[in-house]
Amino acid sequence: MTMTVADIDHDAGMGPRAQNPKRRSFTQEYKAQILAEYDQADRSERGAILRRENLYSSHIVEWRKAAAATPPAAAAGGRARDRELEQLRARAARDEAELARTQAALDLVGKAHALLEMLSESADTPKQSPR
């Protein structure tokens, strides 16, 4: 019997790799959860975790390497936050220095005003002649 194109069921997966299993993918949350559980478990319980999740120890090794090489999303966002915080601190330091200069200038102007007022009052009062 000869098969024609109409006889082939394309949904059945007649390709050369139809019988091969598909590669699994894991979310970052899942990896973090399993790593945390694995690290907290005793040595005797670690194998049970791997069997339960159908994982290999190489998964744990690779996930640890990836976790160490890649900063968490919070840390990446934290870097931007830290940079902004550092900029704000520098700005606050500049503003505080300017405020200190302004206060010193106002204090100096106030003392000069008081001195001029005192001189003006002494000039306004008639001098008494010695008797």
pLDDT digits 0-9 by tens, 80-93: 888 899 999 999 99
Identity of residue 70: T
Q: Which of 17, 15, 65, 76 is nearest to 57 (CA)?
A: 65
Task: Name 8's Cβ contacts closer than 8 Å, sequence gap at least 6.
Answer: 14
pLDDT at site 130: 64
Element (H, E) at 102: helix 73-124
Domain boundaries, the chain: 25-122
Q: Quick check: helix, strand or coil at residue 25?
A: coil
Is 0.75 surpassed by the pTM of this model?
A: no
